[in-house]
Amino acid sequence: MNFINMKKYLYSLFIVLTFCFSTNAQKRKGHKEKIKLLKISYLTEQLDLTSLEAEKFWPVYNEHSKNILDFMAKKSDAIKKELSVVKEIDSINEKKALTLFNLTQYLERKKFEERENYIKKLKTILPIKKILKLQIAEKEFGRKLMRKYRHKYNKGQ
């Protein structure tokens, strides 16, 4: 294969791979949106929110969900960043390990504080009984989702 053909081949390969990665990212985003819509529908049904409750509840719920995901992403990113440098946790010196540990503990505390503030806000919007229903419904939705994907995964093999 001469240089020009090789160049065309590599360029074509690059285009195909870029398209594949782009399509895959769009599929994942589509799956996330679908799951989000299913969760909203499921929680709405389980909580039997009045229109006034729903109007106040969803902005608080969405903000809390975003904040929790942000804390989890920051924690995950910090660990991944450190591991990308050293390749495995056993290679980290004690000073770096302590810094990483302190960061993860800080983010866990922030996540806990966020949850406490969220519950305080919910208490002004919903009766305690509905807050309990929300906690149960969220866990049940997660279980149902895991069962569905586990079944789909096992079926595909």
Q: What is the pLDDT along the chain (157 residues), one digit of tens a residue?
A: 555 554 555 445 445 555 555 555 555 567 788 888 888 888 888 999 888 998 999 999 999 999 999 988 888 887 777 776 666 677 778 888 888 888 888 888 999 999 999 999 999 999 999 999 999 999 999 998 888 877 766 665 5
pLDDT value, residue 93: 82
pLDDT value, residue 13: 46
112 with 137: CB under 8 angstroms? no
pLDDT value, residue 32: 81
SS3 41: helix
Q: Is the pTM of this model over 0.75?
A: no
Please state, in angstroms and rounded to a whole number, the distance separating the CA atoms of residues 107 and 96: 17
CA 123, 124, 128, 134 torsion: positive or negative?
negative
Please state, in angstroms and rounded to a whole number, the distance separating the CA atoms of residues 139 and 129: 16
SS3 48: coil
SS3 88: coil
pLDDT value, residue 91: 73
